[in-house]
Structure 1
């Protein structure tokens, strides 16, 4: 069930909210159980056959965590390894078995029957969430252990399908807080405001950028410089506003129930280096990879060479987490290389502090990120390489013939850099770059959602950054957000899936 669908907005959400707060007056247990049952219904709306798989995973991991809470250290360690192995085996079968079979067939140059396995939506998110719970139980860091709260922690519908990746110490104590079960006008106002900002990002920006990205990636051919960049930038901003919008909607929906989720985005394209980018992009996944993979591998505790190896392993596995394919592996390896280069650059003391330096560093970081996005989005390696060739001038520069007259004053300059013209496509060219310009202005020059909502403590780890656009419960803000909500809801005639659903 999509957040940006009428069935969710007009049926599921109001019924779930009403049931939660009505039951909360009588029994906190019943209210939590209702919300968990509603979350399972939300998941089963996609495909009822996978609800038993989700419940089996939850019961298995809760049982293992109970056994991990006490006992001899050797037995607990062996159980932890076995439990993590079982989780990874489940994830590996559903997500990677087909990829490994096809790769083996290509390696052996022998026909192998294709393995058709349907990927359960959200399996990466609920698997990682539960692995973290097992590890923390083994470490003695889990305090809240009631099954209904664990069930709700894993299935909680605002995060179940595409994150954020939650941590038990952030969520389960909130489910035990009496204040959560009391309807709050403040939570409704703040939650609805954040939700509609996220909805606008999705339906007014991301969905309008999607056709311009698809025009390049679905049939790349041999794109010229501006065509390649328009498609890549359209995808970069589509992905940003799609996932950022989803994360805002998740935070807003959760706030309606009085529960705060962690931030997942903090204007990542404003980052001045690749390490800062990963502290701002998909923040909860970055945190998981750091705490449960990079640091256990040794982090930066064993010298420079080992640190760079740990970074590369972490990012390659992070790339494979996003999808089973060589493109995702290359995408992760590129980011591992970028992080290694950044670390070496910093160790040499080449980082400046001036405004001009930060602008140049931000532009370079954004170009590196966009280059890697080509592999993330392309359907196969030949397509990715063809787009990269156009992106960096390998196929020349071409403009629609319809623009030639408008560019008459600068024709000598264009001729000097070998700009050619092609027939047709002028309207599409202008439309594409117009949407890119709008998206770039919003991403680079405007405050993000948590900055706008800073006075309302929008998320668990949000820091107040007072600015001229700070939200307040006033009639002006109500009217502005009502207009944004109306424009967004008028665009829901054909709701599009969120990009991160496929991961």
Structure 2
């Protein structure tokens, strides 16, 4: 069940929203349980076969968290052994389901090269959302061991893990952000301010996905899929194809994140901000503070800092940065393309930090420097997206060759794949995409324009005109987006 589907918008979410608040009027614990069961139903709609693994993961990690919490009579040594065991179980399960075939494929390549017989692949499906709920629970376990977790309710823990707005594609949640909200009685009372704002944010996220992300994806697929069919992109075709994917992944994932924030806000729960206009960044460090913020925070707190962070000198700091991004790339998928993508960003960060340490601290950046920094950052991000999108390194290399003009300078068309820059709709959508991601503020800033439904206001107040305008735009946009529903269009981050 997709957020961008009739079943979700007109059946599932209205039922969950109404049921949650009706039950919450009488029993908040029962309302939390209802929302947890509704979230499990949402997950089961995707894959009933993957449900037992999710439930076992929740039960095991909740039990482990209780044993990891500091208590009289439980030594630090015992708790540390339990932490190692719990983390190992989580990582082994994730490794089996997500990386077993990747490992076997690489072993097979070595065996075949040595003249030996290859190992048979494991026929196992990747459970949807396993990376997100595994990372969420790993953070919980570490915090339990550090004595930071004080919530003991199993219902709230189960809801924290399964909460449907984030379960499939994030954001990666932290218990301190969510569990206190589930324990707060105010969460279970209807707040029309939050409902109005939530619906507006959801609508803008839906528009990002349907009207921009999916449209850009059509053109990106022409180029990237064309390479797999033996059609090599010329100079402009390659650059426009990569630019199209650069816009697609931003509006697809940012759209999902906005929709998740909006849906959750309707239920009275605030999710953390996951995007903050990342394509406005003037350096790669800033980019990672704005892009997929919840994952960046997790990698920093639970990987980079435990590796030593910047506490062991500059050289070790650069190594830790590189390793963190390398593993962050591998988290996205079991393929060398993701590893290379992580390595590229690791290299970018090393260069950026080195530049800051050796040059920038002595030369305050001016306006021209900021513009050049933005342009260089945007180009570097685009270059890295090539390996992220390509299905193989050989395909990525052909795209790179096209970007260098090694496949020629443009032709009018190639086979059944229409050159995107010959289609007016491409430029129209691309222009809108660039304006939205480079000139407009993040969607979350709607909060100042949608403070309260106008028809409920008891008296006129400043900003009411802007509120009415946003309300009309939101309703019109929602109606138009609904008219565009129909085709199956999953979110890109579902595959991770």
2:460 maps to which residue? Answer: none
Whether 1:435 and 2:429 are equivalent positions in the alignment is yes
The match for 1:343 is: 353
Secondary structure of residue in 2 paired with 1:496:
coil
| Counterpart for residue 109 of structure 2 | 106
1:153 to 122, 139, 160: 160
On the 8 A contact 1:455/1:472 being kept in 2, the answer is: no
Residue aligned with 1:397, SS: coil
When the two structures are aligned, how many residues end up with a matched partner?
471
**Structure 2: unaligned runs, 5 residues or longer:** 453-462
- CA separation of 1:457/1:36 partners in 2, compared to 1, >3 Å: closer, same or farther? farther
Matches of 1:75 and 1:288, distance apart in 2: 25
Question: How far apart, in 2, do the equivalents of 1:287 and 1:166 lie?
Answer: 10
Compute the TM-score of the two structures, normalised by the length of structure 1.
0.91
Describe the shift of the 1:375–1:177 C-alpha distance in structure 2 as closer, same or farther (beyond 3 A). Answer: same
Measure how far apart 1:495 and its partner are.
3.5
Q: Which residue in 1 is equivalent to 2:459? A: none
How far the C-alpha of 1:448 sits from its partner, in A, is 1.9
Answer yes or no: is the 8 Å Cα contact 1:400–1:426 preserved in 2: no
1:163-197 alpha-carbon deviations (Å, 9 max, x no partner): 00000011000001111111111111011000000
1:382 counterpart (394, 414, 426): 394
CA separation of 1:454 and 1:283: change in aligned 2, threshold 3 A: farther
Separation in 1, partners of 2:58, 2:131: 14
Q: TM-score, normalised by structure 2?
A: 0.92
Q: 3-state SS of the aligned residue for 2:49?
A: helix
1:429: Cα distance to partner? 4.3
Measured after TM superposition, the shift of residue 114 of structure 1 is 2.1
- What is the CA-CA distance between 1:353 and the residue it aligns to? 2.2
2: CA distance, partners of 1:394 / 1:204: 33
In the TM superposition, residue 449 of structure 1 has moved relative to its aligned partner by: 0.4
Match of 2:470 among 462, 477, 492: 477
Q: Secondary structure at the match of 1:286?
A: helix
User: What secondary structure does 1:379 align onto?
Assistant: coil
Q: Deviations over 1:245-280 (max 9, x none)?
A: 000000000001100000000010100000100000
Supply the distance in 2 between the matched residues of 1:471 and 1:73 (Cα, whole angstroms).
Answer: 58
Select which of 200, 225, 246 maps to 2:207.
200
- Superposition deviation, residue 474 in structure 1: 2.8
Q: Write out per-residue CA displacement over residues 49-79 of structure 1, whole angstroms, 9 at most, x where no aligned residue.
A: 1111101000000000111113100000010
| Contact 2:240/2:421 (<8 A) preserved | no
- 1:366-407 deviation line (CA, Å, top 9, x unaligned): 100110000000010110001011112323322539xxxxxx
Alpha-carbon spacing, 1:203–1:303, altered in 2? closer, same or farther (3 Å): same
Which secondary structure does the structure 2 equivalent of 1:258 belong to?
coil
1:272 alignment partner in structure 2: 282
Q: In the aligned structure 2, how far is the partner of 1:473 from the partner of 1:24?
A: 33
> In 2, are the aligned partners of 1:129 and 1:165 still within 8 Å (CA)?
yes
Cα deviations across residues 347-379 of structure 1 (Å, max 9, x unaligned)? Answer: 112364222211110110010011000000001
Residue 170 of structure 1 aligns with which residue? Answer: 177
CA shift at 1:25, angstroms?
1.0
Return the offset for 1:452.
3.3
Of 76, 93, 97 in structure 2, the residue corresponding to residue 94 of structure 1 is 97
Number of the residue aligned with 1:487: 480
Q: Is the 8 A contact 1:230 1:433 kept in 2?
A: no
C-alpha displacement of 1:113: 1.6
Cα deviation for residue 339 of structure 1 reads: 0.3
Partner of 2:76: 73
- Superimposed CA distance per residue, residues 421-440 of structure 1 (whole angstroms, 9 cap, x where no aligned partner): xx974874443333222211
The CA distance in 1 between the partners of 2:420 and 2:403, in whole Å, is: 20
The within-5 A match list for 1:228-307 is: 228-307=238-317
- The 1:425/1:157 distance shift into structure 2, 3 A limit, reads closer
Query: Residue 131 of structure 1: CA displacement?
Result: 0.4
**Do residues 334 (structure 1) and 344 (structure 2) align?**
yes
Secondary structure (helix, strand or coil) at the match of 1:149 reads helix
Q: Secondary structure at the match of 2:345?
A: helix
SS of 2:365's partner is coil
Match of 2:44 in 1: 44
- The 8 Å contact of residues 205 and 439 in structure 1, kept in 2 or not, is answered as yes
Change (3 A) 1:287 1:141: same
Deviation at 1:82, TM superposition (A): 0.6
Q: Which residue of 2 aligns with 1:359?
A: 371
